[in-house]
Amino acid sequence: MAALAIANHARRTIVVALVIIAALTIVQQSGLTPGFVYANITESNMIQPVLQVTPSMQSITTGDYARFDVTVRQAGTVNVLLVARDVPAYSNAIFSPQVGVANPQFHSTLAIVTSTDTPPGNYNVTVVALLNGEEYPIYISLQLSPNTTTTQTSAISSTSRSLSLGVDTDLHFYEPNSTVTVSGQLTDPSGDAIPDASVSVQVDDPTGAQLFLVNNLTTDAAGIYHTELKLDPQAVVGTYTVFVSSFESGYAGATTHTTFVVGSPLTPSVVISQVYITDTTGNPSGVFSTGQTIIVWITVQNNGAQFQGIIWLQIRDPNGTPQSIQTQISTLSTGASVKMGFGFTASTNLPRGIYTANALVSDKLISQGGTFLASAKAQFALTG
């Protein structure tokens, strides 16, 4: 009996060893690399990469910028939000675009724009892809050496102390008795995530009455917050408004809002689903030089009643001074999306630094009593 037990144990040991060798062989042949974050193994035993950033390391001098290509791959369709944290001091992280849909892929560029005030050294920056509420982080390396020239700008970082606060709902149209998920991200002026910050969320029904209020939300390590609201089975049909605010020591307070629809509303309910910046050939970019023409793309979706809307673009320089205000009028049909491009040429007398492109939608001109229904923003750097 003892001899038989020993023989069985030996056979099991051999089988386990063969399984391990086979698994290692599959990993080697599949070409999996540390530059990927992988999803769970599917039923077909294929491992699907979710997030890739290339290159995984860049070396630049302070005052310069590093460019990375970001790719999200996912079976099916998912909403994507890109976040950067642990960005070097006196630097800015700019995604072009930052939000979108992977169907099944989503592509973006990340520019980390430094200044000559940024301390030299080796930095590990975390890029986070938020996919339908699930976080996928990946690390990239940035090596900064001292700047020995005098031609680069020493004031590339924004002088603003304003927080950037985003908000969205998992859907834009609900039926009564549904659950609404509200989420967003809080960042500092450099685009770096702010963790452990307090966030308040309030939801008003179509009559303007407060339906939901939570004051004790806290952002996670990626600057993300979220909460859920259960609609009543007899919920009022119409457009609901979500108001979000956050106040962090050392910064000006930030507020924002969005809307969602229950049933079939008689009023508009618009969201700006995407704002991103390209050059004139359509290539997404976050860094430009004077003399270049910059195209700001704004996508607006209306989930409520049809109306004639006004889409605004305001561009502010690093000092907060408006450098361009443009508008376009468009009929926003129920359930339809409209995409518009606005051109802006950076003249040679403009200051270098981080610019903000503010996108807004109103129901009519503000001078005629119009109201802003939605807002969103993107950034770009003017370096030389």
Q: How far is Cα 169 from Cα 243, in angstroms, rounded to an integer?
A: 12
From the list 16, 62, 44, 34, the residue with the least C-alpha distance to 383 is 62
Q: How far apart, in Å, are the Cα atoms of 306 and each of 161, 327, 335, 342, 367? A: 38, 19, 9, 23, 22
Residue type, 357: A
The answer to whether residues 352 and 224 belong to one domain is: yes
CATH of the domain at 191: 2.60.40.1930
Residue 337 lies in a domain: yes
- Do 106 and 127 meet the contact criterion of CB atoms below 8 Å apart? no
The answer to whether residues 359 and 222 belong to one domain is: yes
pLDDT-based confidence at 48, cuts 50/70/90? low
Q: Over range 80-92, report the average pLDDT.
A: 88
More confident position, 74 or 298:
298
CATH of the domain at 120: 2.60.40.10
The answer to whether residues 233 and 366 belong to one domain is: yes
pLDDT of residue 161: 61
Write the CB contacts of 26 (distance below 8 Å, at least 6 apart in sequence): none
pLDDT of residue 331: 93
Q: How far is Cα 253 from Cα 269, in angstroms, rounded to an integer?
A: 26
Q: List pLDDT tens digits, range 323-336.
A: 999 999 999 998 88
22 phi, psi to nearest 5 deg = -65, -40
Q: How many CB atoms lie within 10 A of CB 44?
A: 6
Residue 3 lies in a domain: yes
| Percent of residues, the chain, with pLDDT higher than 90 | 46
Q: List pLDDT tens digits, range 269-295.
A: 898 989 999 999 999 999 999 999 999
Q: How far is Cα 201 from Cα 188, in angstroms, rounded to an integer?
A: 19
From the list 369, 309, 377, the residue with the least C-alpha distance to 338 is 309
Among 145, 177, 204, give the residue marking a domain's end: 145
Residue 158 lies in a domain: no
Q: For the chain, how many structural domains are there in total?
A: 3
The answer to whether residues 21 and 85 belong to one domain is: no
pLDDT of residue 227: 94
Q: List pLDDT tens digits, range 361-375.
A: 998 888 888 888 888
The answer to whether residues 74 and 219 belong to one domain is: no
Residue 125 lies in a domain: yes
Q: Over range 65-91, report the average pLDDT.
A: 88
pLDDT-based confidence at 34, cuts 50/70/90? very low
The answer to whether residues 100 and 21 belong to one domain is: no
Average pLDDT, the chain: 82
Lowest model confidence (mean pLDDT) among 44-53, 109-118, 330-339:
44-53
DSSP class of 261 = E
Indicate whether 42 pLDDT > 70: no
Q: List pLDDT tens digits, range 168-196.
A: 888 888 999 999 999 988 888 767 788 89
The answer to whether residues 136 and 264 belong to one domain is: no
pLDDT of residue 23: 39
Residue 113 lies in a domain: yes
Output Rg (C-alpha) for the chain, integer angstroms.
24
The answer to whether residues 82 and 219 belong to one domain is: no
Residue 157 lies in a domain: no
The answer to whether residues 263 and 126 belong to one domain is: no
Residue 151 lies in a domain: no
The answer to whether residues 210 and 300 belong to one domain is: yes
Indicate whether 10 pLDDT > 50: no
Indicate whether 215 pLDDT > 60: yes
pLDDT of residue 263: 87
The answer to whether residues 199 and 299 belong to one domain is: yes
Indicate whether 220 pLDDT > 80: yes
Q: Over range 79-92, report the average pLDDT.
A: 88
Write the CB contacts of 31 (distance below 8 Å, at least 6 apart in sequence): none
Residue 152 lies in a domain: no
Domain that holds residue 221: 164-382
From the list 285, 265, 268, the residue with the least C-alpha distance to 276 is 285
pLDDT of residue 152: 47
The answer to whether residues 15 and 42 belong to one domain is: no
From the list 275, 326, 311, the residue with the least C-alpha distance to 296 is 275
Q: Over range 89-93, report the average pLDDT.
A: 88
